Amino acid sequence: MRTQDPKQDNPQDQNQTINTANEQQPSMENPDNKFQSLKTLHGLLVKETKEHREQVESLVKAKEALEIELGKIGARKVSLDIENGLFYVFIETRMVEMDGLVNGLVRKMKEQENEIRVLESEVKDLTMRVETERNGGARQMGHGNEKWRQMINSDSTHPPFEYMSIKAFLTVAD
């Protein structure tokens, strides 16, 4: 069975440790050797302490650099959040403006369509009056132009240019 103490597991190792300790004790008794040993140990401790301080100093500088980077990243993130917010507000505002513009154009187009319908109705009324006057006038004068009568009687929503000229002529003739 093994014990937790390694010295008890192997008695030979225990004897070597005791012998080594006994050999060191006589040399330690010599004050010059003791001083030299302490001096060497002190030098090693100073060297290790210096290395540890340099490591700590390096780690502190790295930590500070990382904190600065984190600050920059945080500031950039805040800046991006603000930019995104402003962009969304801008886009929303433009969409509202465009919606108003489109609605205005649609309203204007409907008004113009209504105006066209009214004008077409007036043209038909005028055409009928001109036809009535012309039929009465042509009978009195004894002649009439069949081509013009056909154009006047047609149900075209967009009368030809010649028809508009006749309307102007008849208006001037009256």
pLDDT tier at 160 (50, 70, 90 boundaries)?
low
Burial 39-66 (b: 16+ CB within 10 A, else e): eeeeeeeeeeeeeeeeeeeeeeeeeeee
| Mean pLDDT estimate for the chain | 77
In tens, the pLDDT along 109-129 reads: 999 999 999 999 999 999 999
The more confidently predicted of residues 134 and 129 is: 129
The confidence score (pLDDT) of residue 138 equals: 53
**Cα radius of gyration (the chain):** 56
**Residue 104: predicted pLDDT:** 93
Distance CA 128, CA 149 (A): 11
What is the average pLDDT across 126-142?
75
pTM of the prediction?
0.37
Query: Per-domain residue ranges for the chain?
Result: 26-173
pLDDT more than 70, % of the chain = 61
Chain position carrying tokens 């390096």 = 58
What local confidence, expressed as pLDDT, does residue 173 receive? 47
